Amino acid sequence: MQSKHSDKNPGVNRPFLNSGLARGRQLVAGIPNKALVYFLKHKWIFILGFCLILFGYIRGVAIKNSVMIIVLILVASFSTYYKKYVKFTLGFELVTFATVLTTVAYGPMVGALVGFVSSIAAEVIPQLIDPSSFFWIISLPVSAFVVAFFSSMGVPLFWLGFISIATQFMISEPIRIFSGDSYLKTMGTVNIVTTAAWTVLWFKLLAPAVLPLM
């Protein structure tokens, strides 16, 4: 007669194994949160480190140009400070503006570094980080090289702004648009529409006046 326990391994404690697996999943799932908490706790050290790397790269640039780059990074970094209180983006940010201008003026490497540093700061300072934040931060350096390519082909500054945000949207927004969550989908749609509206203002009126100063 076949034992009713013959299909099981008698040496395995099932409840213990299941609880161990559940605990392991919790530990793995908690790693991103722990990393984020550590990053937020030491955010100014990370930001200072990125700024020092950037300064080391641009130290060969004229003093006036270095000052302009640093000013643009600071303005871009704090342009999203309102999100600390509003908790909604409405597409208002100057990270794209700073990235495009420094790319056109000093090349894609400087533009990519400016976009990377200022986008991290713009997300960390208001502490409003959503599922697309990581992808948006990555999209800024990528957009700098795309903008540099089209700039070399003579595309006007106004359209370079739209090329930059289009590149960013293709990388950062799918996670929200196709998430299945109605709130995230609404946030993604609102962000696309409002960012486009702000881009018209920044690159029609402000960018042509700032670029000659760089």
Per-residue pLDDT tens digits for 8-27: 444 444 554 445 444 444 44
Q: Looking only at Cα atoms, what is the longest distance across the chain?
A: 92
Query: How many structural domains is the chain composed of?
Result: 1
Residue 16 lies in a domain: no
Per-residue pLDDT tens digits for 35-77: 556 666 656 666 666 665 666 565 555 656 777 888 899 899 8
Residue 50 lies in a domain: yes
Angle at 65 between CA 150 and CA 70, to 5 degrees: 95
Q: Which domain holds residue 57?
A: 46-213
pTM for the model stands at 0.70
**Among 56, 63, 60, 151, CA closest to 99:** 151
Residue 132 lies in a domain: yes
Residue 72 lies in a domain: yes
Q: Are 101 and 210 in contact (CB under 8 A)?
A: yes
Q: Tell me, what's the pLDDT at 65?
A: 76
**Among 38, 40, 168, 47, CA closest to 118:** 47
Q: Tell me, what's the pLDDT at 69?
A: 86
Residue 15 lies in a domain: no
